[in-house]
Amino acid sequence: MPLHAKISTGSITGPTGVPALLVLEDGRTFRGESFGAEGETFGEAVFSTGMTGYQETLTDPSYHKQVVVMTAPHVGNTGMNDEDPESRRIWVAGYVVRDPARVPSSWRSKRSLDDELRVQGVVGISGIDTRALTRHLRERGAMRVGISTVESDPDALLQKVLAAPAMSGAELADEVTTGEPYVVPAVGERRHTVAVLDLGIKGMTPYLMAQRGIEVHVLPATATLDDVLAVGADSRGPDGLFYSNGPGDPAATKDQVELLGQALGRGIPYFGICFGNQLFGRALGFGTYKLKYGHRGINQPVMDRTTGKVEVTAHNHGFAVDAPLEGETQTPYGTASVSHVNLNDNCVEGLELRGPDGRLKGFSVQYHPEAAAGPHDAGYLFDRFLALMGGEL
């Protein structure tokens, strides 16, 4: 009879007990324990406030080159499964959590988060005051950060952080987009054919389109107008064009904005989300700017100004479109207006483009109607896209 059970299901001081160091570009330092892969990593420090869906978050290409701080203290509780990833790999540059799970618990779990991070070589840190870090980022804004299990001297790590590239001006679509075009067949009878520009697309997006009878042709970010027009049965090209979410600074993106302009010129119905909203904005002649610390979470209240209803929505963006909230703006392609607004900070969450006849030509939202992770309140936007292509709007 043992005096005490020692069947340990994990270490009591973090997953490994190996010390790790986190340093922000303004010098603020946190010490914790290594989580996931050991080593060193750099990126833009951002925080995400979602309480569920870390697996979707990790595999969202929009987080490419970002070190994500989870505000929810317990992460990894449901492990990792084979159904929930939103892309082929984990994209975050680094991962910061307070209390990683020692054992996952879910009938769908295949492996632990810690193992997965290690396998994919993602460096993380655990056991730090994530709320303090979050408040720091809220007050000072998103900034560069480094995490290391090899470097224990904050100053030395700080030098490396300052040497790392910043997010502003970064063009990253090419790094996350698909190498080859591919097609997601429509579920049931095919109603429309859509060309989708993959700027960092999440698996749920083509899935939801296909569910609605759309044949989804996913093209690399480098696709040209001809590539787009080649989609679809006849010379009229696709029934619609879709731009996905993705990482990087929209201001640094040229080609896709041009492409979008040409497509709009040809009257191809357009739907864009997130990065696709920012590029739509630029194509319409609006500016984009970097938010102080962005919107990352699944509880953001957005008002759909056409219905006056509020949607609770999933967000992941550090940049926003600079368009007048009130009134209409004349553009080469028609009349543009702001269709959705964030009720927390009044930033632009959606754009609408109408022709002289008042008919809808294209629209976009800054948030994620495909959710994953997040509420399904905005799913109706895919139906709106359908209606748009059906000429009903």
| Residues at the interface with other proteins (CB under 8 A) | 1-10, 12-13, 30, 47, 49-53, 55-56, 71-74, 77-78, 81, 83-84, 98-99, 101-108, 128-132, 134-135, 138, 297-301, 303, 308-310, 312, 343-344, 371-376
Which of 285/301 has CB closer to other proteins?
A: 301
For this structure, is 180 an active site residue? Answer: no
In angstroms, give the least distance from the CB of 363 to other proteins. 21
- Let me know: does 333 contact 342? Beta carbons within 8 Å: no
Phi/psi at 249 (nearest 5 deg)?
-95, 115
In sequence order, what are the residues at sequence separation of 6 or more whose Cβ sits closer than 8 angstroms to the Cβ of residue 381?
271, 273, 363, 365, 369
Residue 195, token pair as written in the block: 């060309």
Instruction: Look at residues 283, 359, 358 and name the one whose alpha carbon lies nearest to residue 321.
Output: 283
Instruction: Look at residues 21, 20, 27 and name the one whose alpha carbon lies nearest to residue 159.
Output: 27
In angstroms, give the least distance from the CB of 308 to other proteins. 7
Which of 104/362 has CB closer to other proteins?
A: 104
- Let me know: does 102 contact 131? Beta carbons within 8 Å: no
In angstroms, give the least distance from the CB of 120 to other proteins. 19
- Let me know: does 195 contact 219? Beta carbons within 8 Å: yes
For this structure, is 217 an active site residue? Answer: no
Which of 78/277 has CB closer to other proteins?
A: 78
What is the chain's Cα-based Rg? 22
Residue 274, token pair as written in the block: 């997130």
Which of 81/329 has CB closer to other proteins?
A: 81
In angstroms, give the least distance from the CB of 222 to other proteins. 32
Which of 262/299 has CB closer to other proteins?
A: 299
Rounded to whole angstroms, how far apart are CA atoms 63 and 68? 8
Measured at the alpha carbon of residue 46, what is the angle toward residues 204 and 350, in degrees to the nearest 5?
Answer: 50
Which of 72/166 has CB closer to other proteins?
A: 72
44 in helix, strand or coil?
strand
Which of 48/244 has CB closer to other proteins?
A: 48
Phi/psi at 73 (nearest 5 deg)?
-70, -40
In angstroms, give the least distance from the CB of 389 to other proteins. 26
In angstroms, give the least distance from the CB of 375 to other proteins. 6
Whether the upstream peptide bond of residue 373 has omega within 30° of 0, thus cis, is yes
Annotated active-site residue in 151, 215, 274, 311: 274
- Let me know: does 288 contact 343? Beta carbons within 8 Å: no
- Let me know: does 313 contact 339? Beta carbons within 8 Å: no
In sequence order, what are the residues at sequence separation of 6 or more whose Cβ sits closer than 8 angstroms to the Cβ of residue 119?
none
In this structure, what DSSP letter does residue 253 have?
-
For this structure, is 368 an active site residue? Answer: yes
In angstroms, give the least distance from the CB of 227 to other proteins. 34
Q: Please give the single-letter amino acid code of residue 370.
A: E
The set of catalytic residues is 274, 368, 370
